[in-house]
Chain A
Amino acid sequence: GENVEQHPSTLSVQEGDSAVIKCTYSDSASNYFPWYKQELGKRPQLIIDIRSNVGEKKDQRIAVTLNKTAKHFSLHITETQPEDSAVYFCAAANFGNEKLTFGTGTRLTIIP
């Protein structure tokens, strides 16, 4: 089955700086890679996703890159703000099966 590794587990960044979170996956059949943000005591919410036929996707301050050959993908947050503080999860899925496998999460703290 799919195995998703996520690094780092914790990340502290000065406000205004950039944050990068990296994930690797094991199943070459995976073709969909979403990122979820979970604030304290809240539900995970989708913030951006990318399909395997695309190498990069951007949405304002967040971007995701995908390297299919190396089987890794990354989340980039620029100009970080205090409200970016949360736990971020990457995930991988294959449209052929009904399963979304999550990484272990990264606790991002933005230092004012």
Chain B
Amino acid sequence: DTAVSQTPKYLVTQMGNDKSIKCEQNLGHDTMYWYKQDSKKFLKIMFSYNNKELIINETVPNRFSPKSPDKAHLNLHINSLELGDSAVYFCASSQELSSGRSFKAFFGQGTRLTVV
């Protein structure tokens, strides 16, 4: 009954490869996010989707492309992986913010990506 689940948990890959991380939430939330946590533990937002529509796209290289097939899923595809992409990527979800009902964001368990 995991609320926000992402796969895989660990991903080791070579430079130049293309990889995907999948995320699913069963909380009925309208908004989903991708965050990147670097080696210094900084948590930075990458993307936000609300009801399958892109809301936030921070200054992320266009090698990163999120895809939301429905509001319960937000996948992250990364092309031409670079050494600097190594980090932990967290998916998260929350209720629709503009309703003011809630902004409690729930995180997935993280995907540790290592590019070698």
Contacts and interface: CB of A to CB of B under 8 A. Distances in A.
A93 B109 CA distance: 22
Contacts of B33: 100
Nearest to B31: A98
Given A34-B103, A43-B90, A44-B107, A97 B97 contact: yes
A80 to B, nearest CB: 20
Q: Which label, helix, strand, loop or mixed, suits the secondary structure of the A interface?
A: strand
Q: Which of A89, A98, A102 has the most CB of B within 10 A?
A: A98
B109 A95 contact: no
A32 B103 contact: yes
A105 B43 contact: yes
Interface of A: 32, 34, 38, 42-46, 49, 87, 89, 93, 95-102, 104-105, 107
